[in-house]
Amino acid sequence: MLFNSYSFLFLFFPAALAGYYLCRKAGEGVKNIYLIAVSFVFYSWSAPQYLPVLIAGMAVNYGFGWQIERVSHSKQVLAAGLVFNIGLLGCFKYLDTAGFVPLGISFFTFTQIAYLMECYRGNLKGTGALSYGVYVSWFPKMMQGPIALPGEFLPQLEKKSAVMDWEAAYRNLYLFVLGLFKKVLIADTLGKAVDLGYANLATLNSWDGMIVMLSYTLQLYFDFSGYCDMAMGISGMFGITLPLNFDSPYKAANILEFWKGWHRTLTAFFTKYLYIPLGGNRKGRGRTYLNCLIVFFLSGIWHGSGLTFIVWGMLHGVLYVLTRAWKESRICDGLSVRLEKSGGFIRKLRHGISVLLTFLYVNVAWVFFRAPSIEDAGTLLKTIFSFQGGRVNWELAGCFNLDEFWYVIKVLHLDRWQYAHYILMVVILIAVLFLVFFGKNAVNFVKTIKPGFFHAVLITVLFVWSVLSLSGVSSFLYVNF
């Protein structure tokens, strides 16, 4: 089931939330059983064949955790649990399973690895089967994250049910609607241009290629961050707070800052359970840089089995290491001192150039992330950097001509202009870039709002607009990873 579907918006979610508030005072056990049942229904709604894999994996992992936590505290049991999870993930994602790949397996596998690691480290004591079941299967986060660690999630299940906080519910609803809008109206519009471009690489000119590359960079962000906003909003209405997964990553002035804002929970997972156990930064600079490269290499493999994902991971890893080495050098320290003494305009100019260069580099790396093959990625980049101009492809520009906006253009008689077909493409791309570089993070934004007429009207308009656009409902990009 998708968050951006009629069945979720008007059937599943209202029923699930109403049932929760009816049973929340019946005790922790009843509440947890209900949440697990709701999550299983959500997961199996459109693909019931994957549910046995999820349940079996949960049972095996709880057995490993119980053995580690209460019986032996054995490193061998932990190793067996890790081999089981990584092996299961590898079999389904990287071997030929005739298309049988359980939805969200990457995310719920990492959730269970985190559980085993925390059991071994002694950070979990007496975790009940029901609490564990909710932690792994919790439907807002199970298929696409964010990856909540046990220490963040499990204590929330022990909280006593309180009186309904209507203002918090309002903010969570607002966050959900913003996420829905980001997915349905922004990401899916950009996705049409991306799909058309990658299906016709041989016919693109440089302008077409740049638009396709930029559109995917923006689509991926609004698609994934939109999902996470919805997940946080939904979970918050059940009284469970999920961690922030995106913090305006495209405003980053270097690749280090980018990874502090992009998919933060995956970064936290790899840092805690891979980078630090490898030695982190405790064994000298050379080993530190090698550990960083290992993390980015495995991050690429986690996202997909193709060589394109490895190239994407290493493009980030190499720049990450070079940037870190530069920042740790004496030359960088000297330049930083000089910069502090320079005027405010120079500092702002340098920051703006750094943000732009980082954004351009990330754009190029995303080409490998999206392209079906290295050859296709090379074709698109060669097209872009050949600087062979010309008018933007008519069909490509048409992907941005949403009916509701095109009607306004007709009313204003702008459709008579020879370049009218391109107006919405330019306007939408500029508006989306403005949101990316100057807009406030949605999660931080909703924390500041107070219930009132203006916001009530805005949230209603955005929700209705999104719902009316659901005829073109599409899956979320990260469900495939």
Going by C-alpha positions, the residue among 256, 255, 368 that lies closest to residue 312 is 368
Q: What is the mean pLDDT of residues 399-410?
A: 79
The pLDDT confidence band at residue 337, using thresholds 50, 70 and 90, is: low
Please report how many Cα atoms fall inside a 13 Å half-sphere around the Cα of residue 468, on the Cβ side.
9
As a whole number, mean pLDDT of residues 419-436 equals 90
Residue 479 banded pLDDT, cuts 50, 70, 90:
low
Dihedral angle sign, alpha carbons of residues 286, 281, 114, 270: negative
Q: In the chain, helix, strand, coil percent, each to 5?
A: 75, 0, 25
Contact 214, 363 (CB under 8 A): yes
Q: What is the pLDDT of residue 341?
A: 64
Q: Nearest-5° angle of CA 55, CA 59, CA 62?
A: 135
**Pair 470, 6: CB distance under 8 Å:** yes
How much is the pLDDT for 335?
Answer: 67
For the residues 351-358, what does the mean pLDDT come to? 94
| Contact in structure between 376 and 201 (CB atoms under 8 Å) | yes
Is residue 351 part of the annotated active site? The answer reads no
Give the mean pLDDT of 449-469.
88
pLDDT of residue 193: 94
Is the bond preceding 146 in cis, omega lying within 30 degrees of 0?
A: yes
The pLDDT tens digits for 125-167 are 888 999 999 999 999 998 888 999 999 999 998 876 556 778 8
Whole-number Å distance between alpha carbons of 424 and 34: 47
Q: Is the pLDDT of residue 332 over 80?
A: no
Candidate from 313-327, 358-372, 457-471 with smallest mean pLDDT:
457-471
Backbone dihedral angles phi then psi of residue 148, each to the nearest 5 degrees: -85, 130
* Packing angle of the helix pair 129-137, 51-67 (nearest 10 deg): 130
**Token representation of residue 174:** 């607002």
> What pTM did the predictor assign?
0.91
Q: For residue 449, which phi and psi values (nearest 5 degrees)?
A: -85, 155
Handedness of CA 434, 167, 185, 219 (dihedral sign): positive
pLDDT in the model for residue 79 = 94
Q: How far apart are CA 102 and CA 106, in angstroms?
A: 9
Three-state SS annotation for 266-290 = HHHHHHHHHHCCCCCCCCCHHHHHH
* Confidence bin at 195 (pLDDT 50/70/90): very high
Instruction: Give the number of other CB atoms < 10 A from CB of residue 84.
Output: 18
Q: Under a CB-based contact definition with an 8 Å cutoff, are residues 470 and 184 in contact?
A: yes
Selected catalytic residue, list 303, 351, 413, 421: 303
pLDDT, tens only, 303-313? 887 899 999 99
What is the pLDDT averaged over residues 425-439? 94
For residue 480, what pLDDT band results from cuts at 50, 70 and 90? low
Contact in structure between 171 and 214 (CB atoms under 8 Å): no
Rounded distance, CA 2 to CA 26, Å? 29
Q: Per-residue confidence at 338, pLDDT binned at 50, 70, 90?
A: low
Arithmetic mean of pLDDT over the chain: 89
DSSP string, 316-358: HHHHHHHHHHHHTSHHHHHHHHHHHHS-HHHHHHHHHHHHHHH
HSE toward the beta carbon, residue 321, CA cutoff 13 A: 18
Closest CA to 327 of 284, 296, 285: 285
Of the candidates 153, 147, 150, the residue with the CA atom closest to the CA atom of residue 108: 147
Say if CB 145 and CB 245 are below 8 A apart.
yes
Residues 137 and 75 sit within 8 Å (Cβ to Cβ): no
| Helix H or strand E encompassing 98 | none
With a cut of 60, say whether residue 473 has pLDDT above it: no
Exposed, middle or buried, 403 (CB in 10 Å: 0-12/13-18/19+)?
Answer: exposed
Which of 86-90, 93-97, 432-436 is modeled with the greatest confidence? 432-436
Q: What is the mean pLDDT of residues 75-97?
A: 88
Confidence of residue 61 (pLDDT cuts 50, 70, 90): very high
State residue 145's pLDDT score: 82
Q: How confident is the model over 19-59, as pLDDT tens digits?
A: 998 887 777 888 999 999 999 999 998 789 999 999 999 99
Q: Would the pLDDT of 454 be above 60?
A: yes
Show Cβ contacts of residue 275 under 8 Å, excluding neighbours closer than 6 positions.
291, 292, 295
